[in-house]
């Protein structure tokens, strides 16, 4: 008797379940923002959703996958999610909020709940792309550690440390210089070093995945993050807010400091 292959494998169904779960988390984030009026909880929930989805994706069985690589990838994504998620949660709990969402809300005063829902579902889709990148990194069957593994892990560690340092520096600067523009430490070389290191971390996972046949798909993660951070929901609304609240101080900072990639500050014109 002829047997038919199932249309969807167990792993595929689990991945689809993860996508649905992330979507539900971002639905909850919509409600939380509307009730608390604190947008920081959105990014907190999003980060933990990506982290939980990434860990689950590393645990799914895959033929030929190297268990050591799966463990390393799982630990790294857990460290990433805990550091970033707890940082955002602590900042939000202390009363600070993410000005990006306030800037976006001002542009949608009448349809904000509907617009927020759609925006956060788009974030859920973006989160699933990142989870798939972690999955591709984890199931790479090549012997571990290969050169790309070493490069990827080194980049990830640098990115995790760099983003943590950038967050600590801007927090300390804000406490010492109320209303000023952070321009010391890593912030002297990039207006958004935290965003740069966040993007860099996804380059690390893509490198770990790259040597397998479909590993190139993991490159969608850093490409997506660059577009979102630089052109969509990261730099544009945040800098619009900074210009509105800091004015000429921030314009001068813009003139001498790279927006994203770190570089030597430009000399100010006399």
What does the pLDDT look like over 30-54, one tens digit per residue? Answer: 999 999 999 999 999 999 999 999 9
In a domain, residue 265? The reply is no
Q: Would residue 87 count as lying in a domain? A: yes
DSSP code for 233: S
Does 113 map to a domain? yes
Surface-to-core class of residue 97, CB atoms within 10 Å of its CB (0-12 exposed, 13-18 middle, 19+ buried): middle
Distance CA 5, CA 48 (A): 35
Separation CA 67–CA 53 (nearest Å): 18
Q: What is the pTM of this model?
A: 0.91
Is position 268 within any domain?
A: no
> How high is the mean pLDDT of the chain?
91
Helix orientation angle between 193-209 and 67-93, rounded to the nearest 10 degrees: 160
With respect to residue 135, please indicate whether it lies within any of the assigned structural domains: yes
Q: Whose CA is closest to 238, among 39, 53, 78? A: 39
Q: What is the mean pLDDT of residues 177-194?
A: 94
pLDDT tens track for 145-155: 999 999 999 99
Does residue 161 register a pLDDT over 60? Answer: yes
Residue with tokens 């609240």: 245
Residue 6 is predicted with a pLDDT of 52
Q: Does any domain span residue 236?
A: yes
How many domains would you assign to the chain?
A: 1
- The residue range of the domain holding 113 is 10-256
DSSP for 195-216? HHHHHHHHHHHHHHHTTSTTGG
186 falls in which pLDDT band (50, 70, 90)? very high
**Residue linked to tokens 């169904």:** 13
- pLDDT number for residue 267: 77
Residue 5 has pLDDT above 50, yes or no: no
């Amino acid at each position: 008797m002829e047997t038919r292959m199932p249309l969807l494998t167990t792993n595929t169904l689990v991945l689809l379940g993860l996508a649905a779960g992330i979507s539900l988390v971002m639905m909850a984030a919509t409600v939380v923002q509307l009730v608390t009026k604190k947008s920081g909880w959105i990014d907190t929930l999003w980060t933990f959703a990506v982290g939980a989805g990434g860990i689950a994706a590393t645990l799914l069985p895959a033929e030929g996958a190297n268990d050591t690589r799966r463990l390393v990838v799982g630990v790294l994504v857990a460290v990433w999610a805990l550091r970033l998620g707890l940082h955002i949660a602590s900042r939000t709990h202390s009363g600070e909020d993410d000005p990006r969402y306030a800037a976006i809300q001002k542009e949608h005063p009448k349809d904000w709940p509907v617009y927020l829902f759609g925006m956060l579902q788009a974030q859920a889709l973006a989160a699933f792309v990142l989870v798939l990148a972690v999955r591709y990194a984890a199931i790479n069957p090549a012997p571990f550690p290969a050169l790309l593994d070493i490069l990827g892990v080194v980049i990830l560690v640098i990115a995790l440390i760099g983003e943590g340092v950038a967050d600590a520096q801007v927090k300390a600067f804000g406490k010492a210089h109320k209303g000023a523009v952070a321009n010391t430490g890593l912030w002297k070389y990039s207006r958004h070093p935290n965003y740069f290191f966040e993007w860099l971390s996804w380059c690390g996972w893509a490198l770990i995945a790259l040597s397998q046949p479909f590993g190139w798909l993991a490159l969608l993660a850093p490409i997506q993050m660059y577009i979102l951070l630089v052109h969509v929901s990261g730099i544009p609304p945040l800098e619009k807010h900074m210009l509105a609240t800091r004015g000429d101080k921030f314009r001068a900072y813009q003139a001498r400091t790279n927006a994203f990639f770190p570089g030597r500050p430009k000399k100010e014109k006399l």
